Chains A and B, each alone.
Chain A
């Protein structure tokens, strides 16, 4: 595709290394929920290569520990923490442990999320509840626990990973769409509340991203998503991660309560 060439040419891509030119998150402490794999892991990698110290947090111990170990090898200081984002006591304990380990918490990325897709008329109440509990309540609890520390610090960056589905809807995902739309409202309200303490809250809304989660979709569904994407390709986890890094860094200091779509133009 001719119009895609500039994006795929490599001209605007660059490899960042610790000690490189883009270390704008030097020594910042970043807690990324659900970062054992997928988009969360890519976000952690991006923040790590900009100098952040990482809290690799997942409900799955093995992936959290493996990812933290691989980042430590690359030279990004990382610890692995395991907990359920939808448990209030565990969220508070996680913040306490981060404070003990690193002394501060500068960046929270609410990335942990699940899907339990089904058509509305067939959707089980349990599947509705579980998606709300992890995606929406989990975001609330992790933000609440973190905000108390960030308010004292008089600084902080909170980035919520939402979805284009929360804006445009998607058949079979009424629970997921509602949770993501809820997160957008939550982003704006908390941005207004926390602004007086130097904390910004923004959201990143990925479109169709090629991950393990979407790899299982039937070919015709994948091609329909790409057809609906003006840039005519699926996004990568790294595409999402770079938008998160923007909200985590000093360049976005005057931006709060916004939803940045990383979707190849799917929603505009």
Chain B
């Protein structure tokens, strides 16, 4: 999977999970403030990322995934490990 494909995958998961329009999923968009996620949604997003990329995201890291951009950045860093 190239970086571009991974970014696409992340956006697809967000659109599917939060039921938002793909155009709203910008890098700056905050899951809670802009995309209307509640606390359960953010947990589900983390779970979806975990299964899509076959990684484990510790609870203490979950706070770092506040915006679309920070989620992509985190996942790139995690996958590089």
Contacts and interface: CB of A to CB of B under 8 A. Distances in A.
B44 A151 contact: yes
B40 A197 contact: yes
A148 interface: yes
B44 A196 contact: no
Interface residues of B, number: 4
A197 B44 CA distance: 11
Interface residues of A, number: 6
A193 B44 CA distance: 13
B38 interface: yes
A151 B38 CA distance: 13
B51 to A, nearest CB: 9
B47 A148 contact: yes
Interface string A44-78: 00000000000000000000000000000000000
B40 A193 contact: yes
Interface in B4-36: none
A259 to B, nearest CB: 24
Nearest to A152: B44
B40 A196 contact: yes
Given A152-B44, A196-B40, A197-B40, 5 more contacts: A148-B47, A151-B40, A151-B44, A193-B40, A196-B38
Interface of A: 148, 151-152, 193, 196-197
